């Protein structure tokens, strides 16, 4: 049996203490304590998809490249955040390379880094200056500057 808990306040700490008091210790158990990392924020996600839509339009208008915003998202994540690929072989000998980064799994910090890379890549390689709304710093870095 596996259990994961996040402590946010004193009440949460007390819940964990009570939980531990009831744990069966007749067999060894493993407890790991690690800082909680927030996944990407709603502001980051909103900015990302606004940018992906603009990239889609720019690629069609400027380069005649037609793909959906989701497809451009997959291409750019693969380009800017390459994942470690592994080869999987089927019993019939077919081999496939699998693995990709998923922004939905990024922490707030990782997503901020990706948005910075995406912004720079579009300016340097696609001749596209992405807009920076008033809350850009909040979306990317989680703080107002």
Q: What is the pLDDT of residues 79-89, one digit of tens each?
A: 999 887 889 99
The model's pTM is 0.65
Q: Name the least confident of 2-11, 14-23, 69-78.
A: 2-11
Task: Report DSSP letters for 71-126, one per residue.
Answer: HHHHHHHHHHSPPPPEEEE-TTS-EEEE----GGG-BHHHHHHHHHHHHHHHHHHS
42-141 topology per CATH: NinB fold (1.10.3790)
**pLDDT (0 to 100) of residue 93:** 93
103: which 2 tokens?
Answer: 């922004």
Encode burial over 117-126: b for 16+ CB neighbours within 10 A, e otherwise: ebbebbeeee
The full set of domain ranges for the chain reads 42-141
97-144 pLDDT, tens digit per residue, is 888 788 888 888 888 899 999 999 999 999 999 998 876 776 676 655
Higher local confidence (pLDDT), 61 or 19: 61
State the chain's mean pLDDT as an integer: 86
């Amino acid at each position: 049996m596996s259990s994961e808990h996040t402590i946010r306040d004193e009440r949460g700490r007390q819940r964990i203490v009570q939980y531990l008091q009831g744990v069966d210790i007749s067999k060894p158990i493993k407890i790991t304590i690690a800082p909680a990392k927030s996944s990407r924020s709603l502001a980051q996600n909103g900015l990302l998809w606004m940018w992906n839509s603009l990239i889609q339009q720019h690629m069609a208008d400027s380069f005649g490249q037609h793909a959906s915003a989701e497809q451009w998202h997959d291409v750019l994540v693969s380009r800017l955040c390459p994942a470690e690929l592994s080869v999987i072989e089927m019993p019939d000998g077919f081999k496939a390379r699998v693995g990709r980064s998923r922004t939905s799994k990024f922490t707030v910090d990782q997503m901020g880094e990706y948005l910075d890379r995406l912004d720079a890549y579009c300016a340097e390689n696609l001749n596209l200056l992405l807009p920076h709304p008033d809350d850009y710093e909040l979306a990317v870095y989680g703080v107002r500057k």
